[in-house]
Amino acid sequence: MSRGTIVPIGGAEERLRDPAILQRFADLCGGRKARIAIIPTASQLAETGPGYEKVFRDLGVGATRSLPLETREDCNDPRWLDRLERAQGVFLTGGNQLRLSTTIGGTRVAEILRRRNAEDGLHIAGTSAGAAFLSEHMIAFGEEGPTPHADMVTLAPGLGLTKTAIIDQHFRQRDRLGRLLTALAYNPRPIGIGLDEDTAAFIGPDDRLEVQGSGAITIVDPSDLSYSSMDSAKQAEAVCMLDIRLHILIEGATYDIQTREATAPAQQPSRLPETAETRPEPQEVRSQ
């Protein structure tokens, strides 16, 4: 089988009135026949896992279970490993991404998620901290602001489902363009994906990204970067970066990560306002 879909979500996704993102993920995993495992490790709130269990049950998922992976010992427990081996989808909740990397990194859970996503078509979604954790290089924490600065962001190893992107969340709401640019300035090989809240990137096995949600996704493409002052910038000094490409994608837009080509959403025919030229001629009404 091909690689499963990777679904980073920008956080604060709609769960009650119109949970379109979670519904699409549930349908992708099999709908009523799906088995979805929830990993609430990033959160320290006891209600997080059960809360998502209810959300997915309300969406018609046949079997959903929150796995209590609170320690590294839990991440090698055969009970939870068996659940992951049989799951068709895995959902990582929000919270603190360093709790994910320090608890799950290097365990059997991480090995199973990488292997099954790459080889068995296991679909994996993550919201907020869970989204940041999906890529090879994870933004652990950083400062807010639109301008990149030296030492503005700290990177840590992530789950490693993709090497082609660095993901940031709550993007527009928390003014995080500068820290995403800083992360890319360290090594401009991957693209940057900045996710607004209630917005998701459905990244298929062909690395084609589709946008869904009420916000936007900012794509930062450094492949044509011609100059960066990161190597000489002093602590907290602004960084100069030339020839960066940037795309703002809304629902229905796509982006090919391999070819670095963006496509606008399909346009619906617009209705022109009536004018003297476009208004239809009145028809004579005859009595019967």
- 69-107 per-position pLDDT tens digit: 999 999 999 999 999 999 999 999 999 999 999 999 999
Residue 282 lies inside a defined structural domain of this protein:
no
| Alpha-carbon distances of 169 from 66, 189, 208, 225, rounded to whole Å | 23, 20, 19, 23
User: Mean pLDDT over all residues of the chain?
Assistant: 94
Residue 133 lies inside a defined structural domain of this protein:
yes
Alpha helices for 59-90 (secondary structure H): 78-86
Residue 175 lies inside a defined structural domain of this protein:
yes
Q: Domain range holding 233?
A: 6-263
For residue 165, what are the β-bridge partners?
A: 191
Residue 280 lies inside a defined structural domain of this protein:
no
pLDDT tens per residue, range 23-42: 999 999 999 999 999 999 99
pLDDT tens per residue, range 120-154: 999 999 999 999 999 999 999 999 999 999 999 99
Residue 176 lies inside a defined structural domain of this protein:
yes
Q: How far is CA 175 from the centre of its chain?
A: 17
H-helix or E-strand spanning residue 263: strand 261-263
Which residues have a catalytic role annotated?
Answer: 128, 170, 197
Residue 1 lies inside a defined structural domain of this protein:
no
271, pLDDT greater than 60: no
Residue 285 lies inside a defined structural domain of this protein:
no
Q: How many CB atoms lie within 10 A of CB 66?
A: 19
Q: How many CB atoms lie within 10 A of CB 222?
A: 20
Residue 274 lies inside a defined structural domain of this protein:
no
Q: How many structural domains are present in the chain?
A: 1
Question: What integer is the mean pLDDT of 1-17?
Answer: 95
CATH, residue 213? 3.40.50.880
pLDDT tens per residue, range 168-213: 999 999 999 999 999 999 999 999 999 999 999 999 999 999 999 9
